[in-house]
Amino acid sequence: MILIYNFRDILRMGAAASVYKDELYGDATQTIALCEFYNKLLSMQQSEISMVKYKKEPISDKRFRQHLNLPADDPHFTSFNAYVNDACQKAVTDLYGKFSPLSSPILTQALLSSFASRFKRTLPTQHKAIMCFLNKEGSIHTNRVKKNLFLWDRYALYIFCMLMRIRNSRNFL
């Protein structure tokens, strides 16, 4: 026999019990489906109530700062910073002594894509936080965002570089 736990809504259970008695009595599959649906309904209501309570509570600045803390001597950050600086310096020094039309970029699209993918790989917490601030973290399932995900990754990279440059002018020279 299946028991419905967290049973508190007597009136709603009365209607469900009458439907069960009239239409589903003796059908084990439908009984299981009905009980699972009712449990899901109760858990969704509990989730909504807890979300309202959670949203009213203040966000802990200390925990948030600790989660996103990125010290200047972090090995992942220093390696990423060195990678970007070396690649940019190589691209600029390759232009010395050569004619470069105004329409040709110094940093190629492939190089920018490699920066973005490396940023996403080496500093995932910061990438996820920036994507969350841009409201793109939860909407990855939509086709439009999926098609342009590489652009959003680049945008997150640009924001990260800007913030790190504001923090310390010696970053990302």
Query: In which residue are the tokens 């652009």 written?
Result: 151
Query: d(Cα 74, Cα 14) in Å, to the nearest integer?
Result: 60
pLDDT of residue 19: 65
pLDDT of residue 2: 46
pTM here is 0.56
Distances (CA, A) of 3 to 6, 9, 38, 68, 151: 10, 15, 11, 44, 50
pLDDT of residue 25: 65
Which residue would you say has higher pLDDT here, 15 or 172? 172
Which residue would you say has higher pLDDT here, 143 or 140? 143
> Could you tell me which residues come within 8 angstroms of residue 91 by beta carbon, excluding any fewer than 6 positions away?
106, 107, 108, 111
Q: Confidence band (pLDDT; 50, 70, 90) for 94?
A: confident
pLDDT in tens, 14-71: 666 666 666 666 677 777 777 777 778 777 788 777 766 655 666 666 766 776 778 8
Amino acid at 22: D
pLDDT of residue 151: 86
Query: d(Cα 156, Cα 55) in Å, to the nearest integer?
Result: 26
Rounded mean pLDDT of the chain? 76
Residue spans per domain, the chain = 10-56, 61-167
Residue 77 has pLDDT above 80, yes or no: yes
pLDDT of residue 8: 52
Task: Give me the helix-helix angle, 124-133 and 61-68, nearest 10°.
Answer: 130
Nearest-CA neighbor of 150 among 97, 105, 123, 110?
Answer: 110
pLDDT of residue 135: 78
